[in-house]
């Protein structure tokens, strides 16, 4: 039986597809987007995280590390000793069967509102075999969506695509060099998969995290709209950059250092979308 590594399950996610949705977040991502608001989803391995809110700074968690390794640090044993339960393991391996059981507890509610389950991440396509098995096991039970950055080899993408009901596909940046600079990878496989998705009969939503000065430029919006139009897409959802994005880095003991000025309000360029006949929703 396949297993997948999950870092969170949200029971009431309001922006991951139609209706009330459960969103399953799979751990690990090939991209390192400068604006990432789910940094705990980036690394594939299980991590120990500590929420800074309400921390008493009692040191109990670090002492556990000192006992084990000789130096103060977080270790799995730290989880149990935090008096405020602020330390936890991020990442848990679950089997398809376990996950489906968790989802099935909520399908009645999800289905009543026209909702379902969305697999997100990290990048869920890193767990393609697991995903295919989950989707197959949920067939006929609830609506199944895949939220992806699109970075995967074409075979993998098409294989997973065949098993879900809806794809939420991110288009972050049309210029390949800019894409490499801000996400760490080329956009070539992404654009190729997007073309394949648009050519298929699978329902999909195009989404753009709108990052000030990075991809909200007139050139990039123009290029994105043109590309979408060529592929036959006529609807886009824009997610304006939120300054809360840095909120979780401290929990991982990391600093949030975006390489752009997050205080600028991103420009959705509504007029460009209109020129291309693409309907826009700003989330």
Partner 1 sequence: MTEHVKQFLALMKSRAYRDRRVDNVGYDVTELVNQTHCMLREATILEDTLTKETTNLPEGDIFGFNRTLIHLPYYTKENGKTACLLGQNVTPNYARVIGMGFDALLCEIDGYAEVCDDEEKRLFYEGMRRQVLATLRIADRYREAAEAEGNTRLAAALSRVPRLPAESFYEACVFFKFLIYTLRLARHGQMTLGRFDQYMYPYYERDLALGVSREELFETLELLFISLNLDADIYTGLQTGDNGQSMVLGGFDKNGKDQFNDLSRLCIDASLELTLIDPKINLRVSKKTPDWIYELGTKLTKQGLGFPQYCNDDVIVPYMISLGYDEEDACNYTVAACWEVISPNNGADVPNATTFSFPMAVHLALHSCLLSAKSFEELMAAVKEEIRKECERIRATVVHRPFPKASYLSLFVDGCLEKGRDCFCGGAKYHNLGSHGAGISTAADSLAAVKRMVFEEKRVSAEELLRALEANFEGYEALRGSLAACPKMGNNDDFVDTIAHELMTAFEDHLHGKPTLTDDGIWRAGTGSALEYIRTARKCPATPDGRYAYAPFACSFSPVIGARLNGPLSVLQSFTKHDLGRISNGGPLTMELHDTVFRNEEGEKKVAQLVKTFIHMGGHQLQLNAINRDRLLDAKAHPEEYPNLIVRVWGWSGYFSELDPVYQDHIISRTAYTV
List interacting residues with partner 1 (CB under 8 A). Answer: 9-12, 14-15, 19-20, 22, 53-54, 60, 77, 79-85, 88, 105-106, 109-110, 112-113, 115, 281-283
- Closest to partner 1 by CB, 21 vs 163, is 21
Q: For the chain, what's the residue count?
A: 283
CB 96 within 8 A of CB 131: no
Q: Which is nearer to partner 1, 59 or 184 (CB)?
A: 59
* CB of 283 vs partner 1, minimal distance in Å: 7
Task: Concatenate the DSSP letters of all residues of 130-159 into one string.
Answer: HHHHHHHHHTTTSEEEEEE---S-HHHHHH
Closest to partner 1 by CB, 82 vs 161, is 82
Least distance in Å: CB of 251 to partner 1?
Answer: 13
Structure token digits, residue 67: 């006992």
Contact 184, 223 (CB under 8 A): no
Number of CB atoms found within 10 A of residue 45's CB: 9
Kindly report whether the peptide bond that precedes residue 122 is cis, defined as omega within 30 degrees of 0.
yes
Among 8, 225, 238, which residue's Cα sits nearest to residue 122?
8
Residue 9: CB minimum distance to partner 1, A: 7
CB closer to partner 1, 77 vs 222: 77
Comparison of 67 and 180: residue with beta carbon closer to partner 1: 67
> At closest approach, how far in Å is the CB of 154 from partner 1?
32
CB of residue 22 vs partner 1: minimum separation in angstroms?
7
């Amino acid at each position: 039986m396949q297993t997948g590594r999950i870092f969170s399950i949200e029971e009431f996610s309001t922006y991951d597809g139609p209706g009330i949705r459960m969103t399953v977040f799979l751990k690990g991502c090939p991209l390192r987007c400068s604006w990432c608001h789910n940094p705990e989803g980036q690394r594939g391995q299980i991590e120990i995280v500590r929420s800074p809110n309400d921390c008493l700074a009692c040191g109990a968690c670090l002492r556990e590390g000192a006992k084990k390794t000789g130096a103060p640090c977080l270790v799995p044993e730290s989880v149990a000793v935090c008096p405020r339960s602020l330390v936890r393991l991020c990442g848990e391996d679950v089997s398809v069967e376990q996950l489906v059981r968790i989802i099935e507890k909520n399908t009645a509610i999800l289905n009543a509102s026209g909702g379902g389950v969305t697999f997100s991440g990290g990048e869920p396509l890193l767990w393609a075999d697991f995903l295919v098995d989950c989707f197959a096991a949920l067939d006929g039970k609830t609506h199944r969506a895949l939220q992806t950055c699109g970075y995967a080899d074409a075979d993998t993408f098409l294989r997973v695509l065949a098993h879900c009901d809806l794809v939420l596909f991110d288009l972050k940046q049309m210029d390949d060099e800019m894409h490499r600079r801000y996400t760490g990878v080329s956009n070539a496989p992404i654009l190729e998969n997007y073309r394949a998705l648009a050519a298929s009969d699978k329902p999909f939503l195009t989404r753009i995290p709108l990052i000030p000065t990075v991809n909200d430029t007139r050139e990039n919006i123009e290029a994105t709209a043109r590309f979408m139009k060529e592929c036959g897409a006529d609807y886009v959802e824009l997610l304006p950059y939120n300054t809360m994005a840095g909120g979780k880095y401290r929990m991982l003991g990391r600093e949030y250092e975006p390489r752009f000025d997050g205080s600028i309000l991103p420009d959705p360029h509504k007029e460009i979308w209109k020129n291309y006949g693409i309907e826009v929703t700003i989330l």
